[in-house]
Amino acid sequence: MDFKQIQQLIKLVDEKELSELKIKNDGFEISIRSKHFNKNSGNPIQQVAAAPAQVIAASPVAAPVDTAANTGSPEARPESPTASEDSNYLTIKSPMIGTFYRASGPDKDPFVKVGDSISKGSVLCIVEAMKLFNEIESDLSGKIVKVLVDDASPVEYDQPLFLVAP
């Protein structure tokens, strides 16, 4: 089962408002529960807001962080966008759940840094999912304005990773 099929299953659980979905197939096993699944009663928790499903084995999501500002690196620039300016930029989101890596290894340079120009098909990062390292490529061209996730942090499906000026 590839990650696109897993994404489809997650969407299905959310759209059909299922509380839980388990699949076992040829040594592969996956269990998906709604975020509003109550483990004690086995019933979904009644809430007004709908939320996408998550794979149980996923780690908690780290809050989006501007890594440049936190590390004091040369990437921290005064022209970094404020919250109100963020709407002027395009967002590149994670196509899957997993662990976000900015570089191909601990001793390697990041694929992209703040200020780098990217084109369609440029490798931006790696998301590790189920021991598979998936290169995430850009589907747009522009300039990296902000990195929203810390290196080696868990990410969820559709979580914003980068802000890009078109």
DSSP 11: H
Asked if 21 and 76 sit in the same domain, the reply is no
Residues 95 and 115 in one domain: yes
Q: Are residues 43 and 82 in the same domain?
A: no
In a domain, 136, yes or no: yes
- Model confidence over 4-58: pLDDT tens digits? 777 777 777 777 777 777 777 766 677 777 765 555 544 443 333 333 444 444 3
Asked if residue 161 and residue 120 are part of one domain, the reply reads yes
Q: 18 and 80: one domain?
A: no
Asked whether residue 46 falls in the same domain as residue 82, the answer is no
Residues of the domain holding 35: 3-55
The per-residue pLDDT for range 84-143, each reduced to its tens digit, is 556 789 999 999 999 999 999 989 999 999 999 999 999 999 999 988 999 999 999 999
- Is 61 inside any structural domain? no
Taking residues 54-66, what's their average pLDDT? Answer: 41
Q: Are the C-beta atoms of 43 and 34 separated by less than 8 Å?
A: no
pLDDT(165) > 80? yes
CA 164 → CA 22, 31, 61, 145, 146, distances in Å? 37, 34, 22, 5, 7
Of 14, 33, 55, which one is at a domain's C-terminal end?
A: 55
> Does residue 130 belong to any structural domain of this protein?
yes
Q: Within this chain, do residues 20 and 87 fall inside the same structural domain, yes or no?
A: no
- Tell whether 160 and 127 lie within a shared domain: yes
The length of the chain in residues reads: 166
Q: Residue 112 in contact with residue 124, Cβ under 8 Å?
A: yes
Residue 164, burial from CB neighbour count under 10 angstroms (0-12, 13-18, 19+): buried
Are residues 86 and 159 both part of a single domain? yes
Which candidate, 96, 74, 100, 95, places its Cα nearest to that of 154? 100
Residue 90 and residue 113 in one domain: yes
- Do 43 and 109 fall into the same domain? no
> Is residue 62 included in any domain, yes or no?
no
Instruction: Give, as one character, the DSSP assignment of residue 2.
Output: -
Same domain as 84, residue 153? yes
The confidence score (pLDDT) of residue 54 equals: 40
Q: Quick one: pLDDT at residue 92?
A: 95
Looking from the CA of 50 toward its CB, the CA atoms found within 13 Å total 9
The overall pTM is greater than 0.85 = no
| Residue at 148 is within a domain | yes
> Which CATH number belongs to the domain containing residue 110 in this structure?
2.40.50.100
| Distance separating alpha carbons of residues 153 and 101, to the nearest angstrom | 8
Confidence class of residue 1 from pLDDT cuts 50, 70 and 90?
low
Number of folded domains in the chain? 2
Helix, strand, coil percentages in the chain from 3-state DSSP, rounded to 5:
15, 35, 55
